[in-house]
Structure 1
């Protein structure tokens, strides 16, 4: 069996903001009735997190849960525990209409950090990244130069960007060009 590797194996770039691939992440698409007690209990059992509100990410002791749409969550856990987390969710939701799918190897994740990280993102996505509009725990699904991606804010002021693995190099290159020195726009 082959060893799992991340899309760009730790690619990194430092300009007026730092862009780095974060490596392997366990990611699970979870679909169903987000208002149900069964869903809330399954999420809590699998991650230790409560259900996220609209366009929010919450973190528990075993993972994070991001609101993706009215019937969809993204569960983010350590890559080594993703199969166990899938089993926990599947068992907890066995009596209800739900979908639990491991999408870890279909995604790439980048961290954009530094004082000017909102500038990098604002040049690529039609999202208000101002401090009053987008902060820690906020998530948006959008387009980054015409490819789908999701972005959320971290407590330390950095951002996580998730895209399909098939466009990983393209998104990294977009982020890299956007972060090149001299490209500051003073957005923040």
Structure 2
């Protein structure tokens, strides 16, 4: 059996805004009735985070919940805990219509950290990132350049970006180039 390897092997592009791969992260896509109290309880129990409203992500350290669509939640857990989390989901939701899948190895997680992280993302995504429209905890599924991605703000200076593993190198390169180009200063 081979060892799990993250999409970019911990790649880092240091600078005023640092772009770095977050390494292996457990990711479970859970589809079902997001208004169901049992489903909500399972999600919050696994993540230790509050259940998010539409368009939101709630994260605590390396765990969290991201609202993906009206019937889909992305559950973030440590990579080593995915199998146990899936077992818990199946045990608690076995009589409820749902689908839970491990998507950890199909995705990459990239962090964008620094004073003008908002500018770095805004240059690449067709999303209104003005602080009045997009704040910590906000989450969007969109594109970065030509590839599908999702991102959320952890805090005022940190974005987390999820993309498919197959385009991780491209997404990282886009983010790195955007950071190197410097701030636009539109938001300040």
- Would you call these one fold, judging by a TM-score over 0.5? yes
Q: Measure, in 2, the Cα distance between the counterparts of 1:95 and 1:60.
A: 29
Describe the shift of the 1:166–1:177 C-alpha distance in structure 2 as closer, same or farther (beyond 3 A). Answer: same
Partner residue, 2:37: 37
Structure 2 unpaired stretches of 5+? none
Match of 2:90, SS? Answer: helix
Q: CA deviation at 1:44?
A: 2.5
Describe the shift of the 1:60–1:120 C-alpha distance in structure 2 as closer, same or farther (beyond 3 A). Answer: closer
Structure 1 unpaired stretches of 5+? none
Tell me, yes or no, if structure 1 residue 134 matches structure 2 residue 134. Answer: yes
Report if the CA contact (8 A) 2:46-2:77 is conserved.
no
Q: CA deviation at 1:38?
A: 1.9
Report if the CA contact (8 A) 1:111-1:160 is conserved.
yes
Match of 1:105, SS? Answer: helix
Q: Measure, in 2, the Cα distance between the counterparts of 1:92 and 1:49.
A: 18
Report if the CA contact (8 A) 1:142-1:149 is conserved.
yes
Partner residue, 1:79: 79
Partner residue, 1:171: 171
Match of 1:124, SS? Answer: coil
Tell me, yes or no, if structure 1 residue 100 matches structure 2 residue 103. Answer: no
Tell me, yes or no, if structure 1 residue 162 matches structure 2 residue 162. Answer: yes
Deviates more, 1:40-49 or 1:21-30: 40-49
Partner residue, 1:54: 54
TM-score if structure 1 supplies the norm length?
0.94
Tell me, yes or no, if structure 1 residue 186 matches structure 2 residue 171. Answer: no
Q: What is the count of residue pairs matched by the alignment?
A: 187
Report if the CA contact (8 A) 1:49-1:65 is conserved.
yes
Q: CA deviation at 1:30?
A: 0.4
